[in-house]
Amino acid sequence: MDMVMKGVFIASLKTILLVFLISLLARNAIGVLLNINNPSTYSRDDFPPNFIFGSGTSAYQVEGAATEDGRTPSIWDTIAHREFMGNGDIACDQYHKYKEDVQLMVDTGLDAYRFSISWSRLIPSGRGPVNPKGVQYYNNLINELISNGIQPHVTLFHYDLPQVLEDEYGGWLSRKIVEDFTAYADVCFREFGDRVSHWTTVNEANVFVLGGYNSGNVPPKRCSAPFGLNCTSGNSTTEPYIVAHNCLLAHASASRLYKTKYQDKQHGFVGLNIFLYWFVPLTNRTEDVMATQRANDFFVGWFIDPLVFGDYPDIVKKRVGSRIPSFTRHESHQVKSSYDFIGLNHYTTVYIKDNADAFIAEPRDFFVDMAATIIFKQDTVPTSVFPIEYSSGMQRSLEYIKEKYGNPPIYIHENGQATPSNSSLNDTSRVKYLDAYIGSLLDALRNGSDTRGYFTWSFLDLFELLDGYESSFGLYYVDFNDPDLKRYAKLSAYWYTNFLKGRNISIMEVDQKSILMQSKASHISH
């Protein structure tokens, strides 16, 4: 998933060469981050007994059955068919294979499965009549999970707005989305809330807004020159702020509905999810340190300040001026405290450099408003997409949230490592990554963070947004060349299983023989 975010920046900065040069200069900064957890220094027993470990996917990325049983296209179907490498027409076919997949979850020892509901499967016209086949599918999946002792953690919106609402009124750009999203949430709470206790309204709200309306690299692909990719319509200076505002109001409205109508009976929890980098100043110059705080205020504060304090951060309001909508007193009141937990997708650490030119630039998009340049340093660790050396960013991020926002309950909804999809089942880089990041999470817990659960992204290899089937994050390999879409456990699946079942997680102990045998039984290289 983080590929979306990387794309956002690459599209936005348009200065890859400059980034590369600056990153060469920045090598000295790495020392701050080196803190790799020693494998096998922790075990599952070190985590609180109620702490939830799971793994996740999203509807468009795994379900397939795109035109079956009354489902209509989402904005992802439309773009994927128009111009993308691959699509989710079949994906992992979880729509038909959910029983098999739940069995794999049992084998892995998951406490919880994070998945999303396809709005256009449940309510094919976006609003109005509910599709009984859609209700039946999610009932089947949820019942299968529950009867196997696995908690469903459900996301309502994971990038896949019904196309019909995009066509009718511009989707999230219009205030009308608030009413339709709330009605959709109502159906979900009513039909599934007796068994689902963890609801996330919007996945990666900040990246959805930036990718969809600022950089134009994900549906609905809106942006305007000189920002983003050659979009046919959009306005990168204004739309991201309008859409973010509508996301917050829709979240607050659905959350309020849950609290007033369902929470007493169903005893569940509602939260919003954002994507979170750990930002480190490129140098100790005051300008870079201040730019780093600004980056946090824009990236995180843009959504989390309204939830916790009832308004956008001052620096965001000051920099964006009249382009950012204001909350009325009533709206501010509704948004504030409209959450039981905050969901975070965290993958890596990036560096922040002050961008002084941005202070006088016009026109401005989100990134010019932020006046900070984001620098990836992946060139230093070519063997893995997300450097394992940056794992302490997990602890630091959680400590930042703890300090800044009064230690709210947190779920790490996504964390994981990318590998090329044609690489072997012997995914040692993913094992090392998970080992280090879960270790860093434990450090944060021991230092007082109220984090309550952790989900790897992703359970299966799936249709990656932005990347199609080129890269994969799965614990389980899916052979997309096999008509049966057979699943194979990677080394990381064995590792996670050992961890979850309280066995020794020393990398050397993990079952190398099993992956070798599976590789030989299939046409997968190793």
Ligand X SMILES: *[C@@H]1O[C@H](CO)[C@@H](O)[C@H](O)[C@H]1NC(C)=O
- Cβ neighbours of residue 300 closer than 8 Å, sequence gap 6 or more: 206, 274, 276, 400, 401
Nearer to ligand X, 38 or 139 (CB): 38
Annotation marks residue 144 as catalytic = no
Per CB under 6 A, the list member of 402, 430, 486, 487 interacting with ligand X is: 402
Q: Which of helix, strand or coil describes residue 348?
A: strand
Nearest alpha-carbon partner for 48 in 479, 452, 507:
452
Burial 383-396 (b: 16+ CB within 10 A, else e): ebbbbbbbbbbbbb
User: Which of the ranges 247-255, 308-316, 381-389, 398-406 carries the binding residues for ligand X, by CB under 6 A?
Assistant: 398-406
Per the listing, tokens 């609180």 go with: 48
Catalytic residue among 144, 191, 414, 464: 414
Distances (CA, A) of 37 to 233, 344, 399: 47, 21, 17
Positive/negative CA dihedral, 313, 316, 322, 323: negative
- State the Cα–Cα distance between residues 458 and 476, nearest whole angstrom: 9
- 285 SS3 class: coil
Instruction: Assign 69 to helix, strand or coil.
Output: helix
- Quote the CA–CA distance of 515 and 405 in Å, as a whole number: 44
| Residue tagged 């009976």 (tokens) | 265
By CB under 6 A, name the one of 230, 260, 328, 383 that touches ligand X.
230
What residues from 198 to 227 belong to the interface with ligand X (CB under 6 A)? 224
H-helix or E-strand spanning residue 60: helix 59-62
Letters for 423-442 (x = contact with ligand X by CB under 6 A, - = none) are x--x-x--------------
Q: Is 407 in the site for ligand X (CB under 6 A)?
A: no
**To the nearest whole angstrom, how small is the minimum distance from the Cβ of residue 403 to ligand X?**
5
Per CB under 6 A, the list member of 36, 381, 500, 516 interacting with ligand X is 516
Residues in contact with ligand X, shown as a per-residue x/- string from 20 to 59 under the rule CB under 6 A? --------xx-xx-------x-------------------
383 touching ligand X, by CB under 6 A: no
Degrees to nearest 5, angle at CA 34 with 28 and 37? 175
- Closest by Cα among 338, 409, 470 to 48: 409
33 vs 31: CA distance, rounded Å: 5
**Among 69, 89, 186, 399, contact with ligand X (rule: CB under 6 A):** 399
511 touches ligand X (CB under 6 A): no
Decide whether 149 or 420 has the Cβ nearer to ligand X.
420
237 near ligand X, judged by CB under 6 A: yes
Structure tokens at 193: 């809330």
Spell out, one character per residue from 265 to 294, where the chain touches ligand X: x when CB under 6 A holds, - when not.
Answer: ------------------xx----------
Is the CB of 18 or the CB of 32 nearer to ligand X? 32
Residue of 191, 204, 331, 464 with catalytic role: 204
The answer to whether 362 is a known catalytic residue is no
514 binds ligand X (CB under 6 A): no
Which is closer to ligand X, CB of 117 or CB of 242? 242
| One-letter amino acid of 159 | Y
Report if residue 403 touches ligand X, rule: CB under 6 A. Answer: yes
Residues making contact with ligand X (CB under 6 A): 28-29, 31-32, 40, 224, 230, 235, 237-238, 283-284, 399, 402-403, 420, 422-423, 426, 428, 447, 504, 506, 508-509, 512, 515-516, 525-526
Active site residues: 204, 414
